[in-house]
Amino acid sequence: MNAAASTRAGKLLSIRDLAVQYRTGRGIVDAVRGVSFDVEPGKVTAVVGESGSGKTTVAQSVIGLLASNGSIARGEIELNERRLGTTSLVGLPERRWQDLRGRCIGLIPQDPGNSLNPVKTIGRSISESLRIHGRPSREEVRERVLALLEQVGIDDPERRAKQYPHEFSGGMRQRVLIAAAIANDPELIIADEPTSALDVTVQRTVLDLIDRLRRESGTGVLFITHDLAVAAERADHVVVMRGGEVQEQGPSERVLAHPEAEYTRQLIADAPAFGDVVVRERVAVRDRAVEPGEAAPSVERAEVALPVERAERVETLDPLLRVQHLRQVFGRGSDAFVAVDDVSFDVPRGTTHAIVGESGSGKTTTGRAVAGFARPTSGSVTIGGVDVTGLRGRALREFRRGTQLVYQNPYGSLDPRQSIGQTLAEPLRNFSIGTRSDRDDRVAHALELVALPAEFAHRRPRELSGGQRQRVAIARALIVEPELVVLDEAVSALDVTVQAQILRLLAQLQSELGLTYVFISHDLSVVRQISDTVSVLQHGEQVEFGDSARVFENAQHPYTRRLIEAIPGRRAPTWMI
Amino acid sequence: MTAITETPMPDGAPHPTGAPQRTGPARSARGGGSRSAIRSVLRPGVLIPAVVLLVALAWAVAPGLFTSVSPTAQVGEALQGPGAEHWFGTDSTGRDLYSRVVHGASQSISAALVAVLVGLVFGSLIGIAAGAVGGRVDGVLMRLVDVLLAIPALLLSLSVVILLGFGTTNAAIAVGVTSVAVFARLARSQVVSVRASEFVEAAYGSGGTFWSVLLRHVLPNSLTPVIALAALQLGSAILQISTLGFLGYGAPPPTPEWGLLIAEGRDYVATAWWLTTLPGLVVVAVVVATNRLSQSIGRGSDSAGRGR
């Protein structure tokens, strides 16, 4: 260690006053302005922020992979590397970067689906950086690859190393990428949203793995995430970013227990894992057993005494929506794939039923069958006493007036060429609701309902942010005054603060208009807040159904318990809240 | 980007802030849009082909403004080289070649427009029908298109023109028929991909019927690349019509059609190079110009698409 390094003794990575600019068609954009923080060896520093906060840009400058139109305007990044001591990472020639990347800095990318070369075996992908950084003998490389695969918890490494990425699940691919990142024992690992694309249970095991490797090897971790709960659980030091600037930083306990910046407080208040984002009147629904005479579904439906004091109102009405033995098979013959197998639930009017599961569990398929966009192979969906599974033509159109679907992706569900006003007026015209002159008023009213100004009617979708578009999508669903709204991951693509706003809006609209929701989500912390009853799906099978308070407190099925345990922030230290 | 520093959103307040950093650039893009459009037109890569095409169009619309000499009258000595009096020289019967090229523009370009129109209309109809209806209709229509594609374009247009009889219009229709398949393929692929998008399903969810969704959502979102292809086809149509003219299946002499001009000059290649070279250069210039412009249209619609 030379003299310069001793002044910042103990720091592995130190960033001082970093500013990054992007040249774009519309002039220069300051993506990062004056960011300073450190990463210590063996510790995790988490950079938290919403989309557009500049957190990924910081990570890219540390590993020298800024987009070609980006440049470091000022500031200093120093890495205290083992072999050469303190090295400044600003303005390094590409040749030096090639030496540093992989050997000193490992990167775990965001999307495990696209980050592995599909025509190379897993073994070759991992050994690439070993060969680049000079491990000569073939035998040595092979042994190291197998050891790495074993280290990241992949069974049967000999066989797995010869397989291709498509033979691995998302979580397994992320393990492979972690193995590749740590192949040369780097001093610093940059994990850029390493688990955002993964299911919660997989997310947890991957994060545990990164934790374990860090402890064992003393590697410093720069952890980029949008999820404050994940940061709280895993990081020693938290840096909260917004608009390219650091809002607040410090030890995680301090930042989360006593946030100083207004923005941090808001983030904590809006994070569903930490507290009540939505205050809504809960409707306790008695866990109705299946009516006598019907075949009992294979679902565990324990009759649990309701904690009556938590319920303001006990619903005794007949269900608005009744799904019975729903089964959906795609394909035929030997290719047949059972997406949904024997799912049954009732949703009383004015309540929210959540369908929870990981990707591939059949929750979206179930939602689409309820909304009339898919014809189930067998089983029935009854809404207001009418079986909707066989509807066609005119009857199907009439049915859509009562049941609306809101999609996950607000960027895809609005026609880019139509103004918001046209989009909202379309269902009115289709269903001949109101007169021509009356429609403008109804559009304005619908915008008001979702808290958007009336002049938005003249805008196009591209002039709106993601959260605003999702409000428009909700307004389009509500303008026909439906009884039932199916929300398919409707808040999953949004930043937490926007997500919290939409959730509040949904709760408010429900109490004002008496809407019934089917809320499809993978995020249990959101589901816990917004739902009255919940179904848990695993591989198309309904493993749990019941009152959500009961399910969250006393889950019967091991899978449900695993899902609940995997909610980030649940294991957050006790100083929280 | 100033929008990035916007104040925190008020908690549940009526002010509807999503992620404010997105609205900022989008809004400013509206203001900057026309300015950047002007700048992109002034790029030499766009400006030069635009000028070439405009000149060719002006020749077609008002040839009298560019030359006072009749294209069919004998105005001077035969086979004069290019000079101040006769810019492109004179042909074997002493007609002014420049005047013939200028007057020929209307023949060639209007024929090319007819050809593109035929291809665009019939091709798009077939492609839209195949993509929108799908299933068996799609299969049958697309196999027909495959058959069209399997026949070489020149052979096909020759067969059609022989069936219809010689002449400029018939040659144009024949050339149009050869491009039907290309238009059908592109239109179908666009319609199929737009039909799969969520906003189309959402339109059905809002109570839309097959026709209303097709007209309001599918077609407007799928036809931009088809229009770009039409511009591209214009160039190749000029070329193909000239080919037919050269082979003698197009306009009858003494009509000044570009392909025919080149054909008439080929007997004198050794002695009067200008008779083939100069009209040839004009054809090349116009074709290259349309290709360049259609590329710019394609790129423009691409970036507009990305802005969604």
Query: Is A486 touching B (CB cutoff 8 A)?
Result: no
Instruction: Please indicate whether, in this complex, the C-beta atoms of A476 and B202 are within 8 angstroms of each other.
Output: yes
Residue of A408, A415, A422, A508 to mutate, testing the B interface (most B Cβ within 10 Å of its Cβ): A415
**B27 has a pLDDT exceeding 80:** no
Instruction: Please indicate whether, in this complex, the C-beta atoms of B207 and A469 are within 8 angstroms of each other.
Output: no
**A491 has a pLDDT exceeding 70:** yes
Q: Is B259 left (phi over 0), alpha (psi -120 to 50) or beta?
A: alpha
Q: What is the largest CA-CA distance in chain B?
A: 89
Q: How confident is the model at residue B144 (pLDDT cuts 50, 70, 90)?
A: very high
| A residues 303..332 contacting B (CB < 8 A) | none
* Nearest residue in chain A measured CA to CA from B35: A26
* Nearest residue in chain B measured CA to CA from A371: B205
Residue of A408, A430, A431, A433 to mutate, testing the B interface (most B Cβ within 10 Å of its Cβ): A430
User: What's residue B40's pLDDT?
Assistant: 63
- For the ranges A118-122, A309-313, A513-517, the lowest mean pLDDT is seen at A309-313
User: Cα–Cα–Cα angle for B284, B289, B290, nearest 5°?
Assistant: 105
Q: How many CB atoms lie within 10 A of CB A507?
A: 19
Instruction: Please indicate whether, in this complex, the C-beta atoms of A415 and B203 are within 8 angstroms of each other.
Output: yes
Nearest CB partner across the interface for B205, out of A405, A468, A471: A405
| B residues 20..79 contacting A (CB < 8 A) | 20-23, 25-30, 32, 36
Query: Is A214 touching B (CB cutoff 8 A)?
Result: no
Q: How close does chain B come to A262, measured CA to CA in Å?
A: 8
Query: Is A379 touching B (CB cutoff 8 A)?
Result: no
Query: Is A41 touching B (CB cutoff 8 A)?
Result: no
Instruction: Please indicate whether, in this complex, the C-beta atoms of B205 and A461 are within 8 angstroms of each other.
Output: no
User: Cα–Cα–Cα angle for A390, A393, A398, nearest 5°?
Assistant: 85
User: What's residue A133's pLDDT?
Assistant: 82
Highest mean pLDDT (candidates A235-249, A304-318, B20-34): A235-249
Average pLDDT of chain A is 83
Give the global pTM.
0.74
Give all strands (DSSP E) within A332-408, no chain letters: 337-348, 352-356, 378-383, 386-387, 403-406
| A residues 487..526 contacting B (CB < 8 A) | 494-495, 497-498, 501, 504
Q: How far apart are the first and last CA of chain B?
A: 19
Q: How close does chain B come to A220, measured CA to CA in Å?
A: 30
Beta-sheet strand order (sheet of A533-538): A386-387, A378-383, A319-330, A337-348, A541-547, A533-538, A352-356, A516-521, A484-488, A403-406
Chain A residue numbers with beta carbons less than 8 Å from the beta carbon of B198 are: 407, 409, 412-413
Q: How confident is the model at residue A570 (pLDDT cuts 50, 70, 90)?
A: low
User: What's residue A87's pLDDT?
Assistant: 84
Residues A548, A528: contact at Cβ < 8 Å? yes
For A473, B46, B85, B160, B286, the CA distances from A414, given in Å and listed in that order, are: 7, 33, 63, 45, 40
Q: How does pLDDT run across A3-47, given as a tens digit for each residue?
A: 444 445 578 899 999 999 888 777 788 889 989 999 998 889 999
Residues A89, A280: contact at Cβ < 8 Å? no
Q: How confident is the model at residue B92 (pLDDT cuts 50, 70, 90)?
A: confident
Query: Is A476 touching B (CB cutoff 8 A)?
Result: yes
Instruction: Please indicate whether, in this complex, the C-beta atoms of B202 and A52 are within 8 angstroms of each other.
Output: no
pLDDT more than 70, % of chain A: 89
Instruction: Please indicate whether, in this complex, the C-beta atoms of A498 and B19 are within 8 angstroms of each other.
Output: yes
Q: How does pLDDT run across A223-273, given as a tens digit for each residue?
A: 998 888 888 888 899 999 988 899 999 998 888 888 888 888 888 888 887
Q: Rounded CA gap, B176 and B119, in Å?
A: 5
**A2 has a pLDDT exceeding 50:** no
Residue recorded with tokens 């866990």: A287
Nearest CB partner across the interface for B198, out of A412, A465, A467: A412
Q: How does pLDDT run across A516-547, given as a tens digit for each residue?
A: 999 998 888 888 888 999 999 988 889 989 88
Q: Rounded CA gap, A14 and A21, in Å?
A: 20
Q: Among B254, B259, B14, B288, which Cα is nearest to B154's?
A: B259
Chain A residue numbers with beta carbons less than 8 Å from the beta carbon of B308 are: 411, 416, 461-462
User: What's residue B19's pLDDT?
Assistant: 38
Q: How does pLDDT run across B199-227, given as a tens digit for each residue?
A: 999 999 888 889 999 999 999 999 888 88
User: What's residue A298's pLDDT?
Assistant: 36
User: What's residue A127's pLDDT?
Assistant: 87
Residues A501, A250: contact at Cβ < 8 Å? no
Average pLDDT of chain B is 80
Instruction: Please indicate whether, in this complex, the C-beta atoms of B307 and A462 are within 8 angstroms of each other.
Output: yes
CB-defined contacts A:B, below 8 A: 133
User: What's residue A569's pLDDT?
Assistant: 67
Which residues, in sequence order, are bridge partners of residue A220? A188
Q: How does pLDDT run across A366-383, given as a tens digit for each residue?
A: 999 999 888 888 898 988
Query: Is A257 touching B (CB cutoff 8 A)?
Result: no
Structure ipTM over 0.90, yes or no: no
Residues shown for chain A: 577
* Nearest residue in chain B measured CA to CA from A406: B202
Q: Rounded CA gap, B232 and A327, in Å?
A: 50
Query: Is B307 touching A (CB cutoff 8 A)?
Result: yes
Chain A residue numbers with beta carbons less than 8 Å from the beta carbon of B2 are: none
Tell me phi and psi for residue B58, to 5 degrees.
Answer: -65, -40
Which whole number is the average pLDDT over A311-322? 63
pLDDT more than 70, % of chain B: 83
**A335 has a pLDDT exceeding 80:** no
Q: How does pLDDT run across B245-288, given as a tens digit for each residue?
A: 888 887 777 788 888 888 888 888 888 888 888 988 998 898 88
Q: How does pLDDT run across A135-192, given as a tens digit for each residue?
A: 668 888 888 899 888 888 888 888 888 888 888 877 788 888 888 888 888 889 999 8
- Considering only residues A312 and B250, tell me which one the structure prediction assigns the higher pLDDT: B250
- Give the list of residues 6+ apart from residue A154 with CB closer than 8 angstroms, or none: A160, A172, A175, A176, A179
Q: How close does chain A come to B225, measured CA to CA in Å?
A: 15
- Give the list of residues 6+ apart from residue A469 with CB closer than 8 angstroms, or none: A410, A411, A413, A414, A461, B18
Beta-sheet strand order (sheet of A85-88): A27-39, A13-24, A70-81, A85-88
* Nearest residue in chain B measured CA to CA from A424: B206
Residue of A462, A487, A498 to mutate, testing the B interface (most B Cβ within 10 Å of its Cβ): A462
Q: How confident is the model at residue A130 (pLDDT cuts 50, 70, 90)?
A: confident
Single-letter code of the amino acid located at B10: P
Nearest CB partner across the interface for B19, out of A245, A412, A495: A495
